[in-house]
Amino acid sequence: MLHPLRTLRRAARTVAAGAVALLLPLAGAATASADQAAGATAGAGYWHTSGRQILDSGNQPVRIAGINWFGFETANYVAHGLWSRDYKSMIDQMRSLGYNTIRLPYSDDIFAGTDPASINFSGGMNGDLQGLDSLQVMDRIVDHAGSVGMKVILDRHRPDSAGQSALWYTAAVPESTWLANLKSLAARYAGNDAVVGIDLHNEPHDPACWGCGDTTKDWRLAAQRGGEAVLSANPDLLIFVEGVQTYDGVSGWWGGNLMGVAQYPVELSVPNRVVYSAHDYATSVAQQPWFSDASFPANMPGVWDKYWGYIFKQNIAPVWVGEFGTTLQSATDQKWLKALADYLRPTDQYGGDSFSWTFWSWNPNSGDTGGILKDDWTSVDTVKDGYLASIKAPGFGDGGSDGGGDDTEAPTAPTGLTVTGTTASSVSLSWQAASDDTGVTGYDVYRGATKAGTTTGTTYTDTGVTAGTSYTYTVRARDAAGHTSTPSASVTATTTGTGGNTGCTAAYTVNGDWGSGFGVDVTVTNTGTSAATSWKLTWTYGGDQKITNMWNAAYTQTGAAVTVTNTDYNGSLAAGAHTSFGFQGTPAAGAVPTVSCTLS
């Protein structure tokens, strides 16, 4: 998708009216059952294809159910939003919402040692990104995604940050540069199975052709050259190949026309590596003839069958809808998104025997679609996210390879946690060292649910506390592979002096209710006169409401009773300050409960 820098418009895309939709049989792979979908977590290691399915290293079917996080392809030369958030908290939030894969667009500019712009380092935010170039920041994003069980698909989105190109090369960025950079990127992540593949070029369009034989325009032939370059450096990667705009006189979305695959499939020297990628959008991007068809939205499955769905249905290869999105403002767009989600196949019915996808976009600053995040880069558009609930899929375990080799064991829990001293403004702790098969690299100290800090030793002094207040601490050990231990036994410490902060309000706002589910935003405000280091909310539902997922907070629910506590990055609230979190639940919202709020 085209999205100039942090500005917000893109030109409408004109397409010719399509031919009558083909009626295509469902053939090939057997349908996965819901029982299979609920089985062991899939996604281990590198992936390969078999017919229309993507399989992990243990031959379990995998469904990519992910999100696009753009920015490396722009003149910021880094994923957007880091001016507001820590990159780890963003990735953790993606995972908490049920997205299991990140599509990460980039341009060839980043291979020239570009310096990322607009990263916020205040208060320790993004601290481990300071001094890094764009590719090194990408390394950190990949590593953290892998450590929390997410996969990454790298997307060559633009030749340079100035804008998209119809062909895979330009006068300034020739094919030789494209191939060299694809090979370099594949080699960079060789051995790190958090990166499962590369999308060779974003949205080829006219004059790009498919199967025409002109090596300067035939995207299918170019994709074969690009795929071979990637596989020469890392034969384990998947090769994601988008379509074109026009085939045999029939036009569609940029990159969304894969009609030519039936006669001219992409053929590579390493078998079982090709995944075809379609893009599909709603009227907020551009008007298309099928939206004004009298039978809309019932006509849409036939449209999708014609352009790309037949590849999956005829068991030719897997299909990944690498981009689809909408502002969701019009009734037409709402019907389109509902129809597309149904077409992509519900996970609870089909499991991994389904179309894969990455929604456009995580970013709110995509002008013609908006994002899953709202403009504050924290709150979630729960209505939009709710449309995707049926096609989300499980994450991929405890993470891919992230520098820890074959290490699969977490460290032992630290023992002997002791309070060694308190003052009005600090708590000092010590503990016995944990053990690990490859060595402990550090410890995370938790004050309640809040991560108070990290250390490489076995002592820590917490200074983020208030006089005359009790705190509970635990410690977790961490190894080089990113595995963390179970928590130590807890200890309680009470700071000296008098103090504390009890002034707190919480505004509970239902922002969406679609009958079978609902979304809520909650704003917590410190109304006291002194700073707080943590907060807790409680409420009791009057019906059978059940929280299904939450972001920017942690929760427990026992029957109708709910307790919510802060995360490690939003517990501290200055006097008068506020923070927000959100969640989704089922079935309908019901009456707004009375929320109690306390600070410490």
Contact yes or no for 83/363 (Cβ under 8 A)? no
Tokens in use for 382? 């729960």
Dist. CA 374–CA 384, nearest whole Å: 11
Contact yes or no for 396/43 (Cβ under 8 A)? yes
Residue 90 has phi, psi (to 5 degrees) of -65, -50
Dihedral over Cα of 76, 79, 80, 83: its sign: negative
Contact yes or no for 108/72 (Cβ under 8 A)? no
DSSP string, 154-213: EEEEESBTTB--SSS--SSS-HHHHHHHHHHHHHHTTT-TTEEEEE-SS---TT-BSSS-
Q: Which of 228, 242, 267, 323 is catalytic?
A: 323
Our answer to whether residue 203 is catalytic in this structure is: yes
Q: Which of 175, 203, 267, 409 is catalytic?
A: 203
Amino acid at 234: N
Instruction: Name beta bridge partners: 419.
Output: 429
Tokens in use for 504? 């707190």
How big is the chain, counted in residues? 600
Amino acid at 14: T
Our answer to whether residue 242 is catalytic in this structure is: no
DSSP string, 22-75: P-----SSPPPPHHHHTSSPP--SS-EEETTEEE-TTS-EE--EEEE---BTST
The CA-based angle 571-572-577, given to 5 degrees, is 110
Contact yes or no for 151/238 (Cβ under 8 A)? no
Which residue stretches of 102-174 are H helix? 134-147
Dist. CA 285–CA 22, nearest whole Å: 25
Which residue stretches of 274-366 are H helix? 300-304, 310-313, 331-343, 347-350
Helix, strand, coil tally for the chain in percent (to 5): 20, 30, 50
Dist. CA 400–CA 435, nearest whole Å: 22
Please name the residue that has the structure tokens 């500005």.
7
Dist. CA 569–CA 124, nearest whole Å: 10
Dist. CA 407–CA 409, nearest whole Å: 6
DSSP string, 408-442: -PPPPPPEEEEEEEE-SS-EEEEEEPP--SS-EEE
Other Cβ atoms within 10 Å of 416 Cβ, number: 13
Contact yes or no for 300/343 (Cβ under 8 A)? yes
What letter would DSSP give residue 246? E
- 430, 477, 489, 564 from 420: Cα distances, Å: 7, 19, 16, 30
Residues catalogued as catalytic: 203, 323
